[in-house]
């Protein structure tokens, strides 16, 4: 058996569908960059609000990159398993920190 793939294995419309998707994400990232620069010129109430807005925009852009370009949207269950484990450990670490602050013996 020949394991090599021919050009007929992937029809043209499937490839163009992926290219359109990547171009859409690319345009969304460009728009996100424009919004980030524009938001930097808006005088919000405080620096904390400026930082929150910038982080919100960066989170959306990073999610697009991770989900589409890194193909993480196709591997949902693996991602959820690691996310659940990470959340459990993070809660455990936060709990240990809270317990350390409530320790009255060493104060």
Residues 6+ apart with CB under 8 A from 60: 32
Does this model's pTM top 0.75?
no
The predicted-structure confidence for 78-99, as pLDDT tens digits, reads as follows 878 888 899 899 999 988 888 8
User: How many angstroms separate the CA atoms of 14 and 34, rounded?
Assistant: 31
**Torsion, Cα of 54, 57, 61, 62 (10° steps):** 60
Query: What is the predicted pLDDT for the residue at 57?
Result: 92
- Residue owning tokens 């524009």: 38
The predicted-structure confidence for 44-54, as pLDDT tens digits, reads as follows 888 888 888 88
pLDDT at position 103 over 80 = no
Q: How confident is the model at residue 6 (pLDDT cuts 50, 70, 90)?
A: low
Q: CA–CA distance from 93 to each of 1, 29, 47 (Å)?
A: 53, 34, 29
């Amino acid at each position: 058996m020949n394991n090599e793939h021919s050009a007929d294995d992937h029809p043209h419309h499937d490839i163009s569908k992926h290219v359109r998707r990547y171009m859409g994400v690319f345009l969304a990232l460009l728009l996100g960059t424009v919004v980030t620069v524009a938001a930097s010129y808006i005088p919000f109430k405080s620096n904390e609000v400026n930082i929150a807005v910038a982080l919100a925009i960066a989170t959306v852009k990073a999610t697009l990159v991770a989900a589409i370009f890194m193909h993480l949207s196709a591997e949902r269950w693996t991602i959820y398993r690691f996310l659940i484990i990470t959340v459990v450990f993070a809660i455990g670490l936060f709990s240990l920190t809270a317990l350390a602050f409530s320790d009255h013996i060493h104060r």
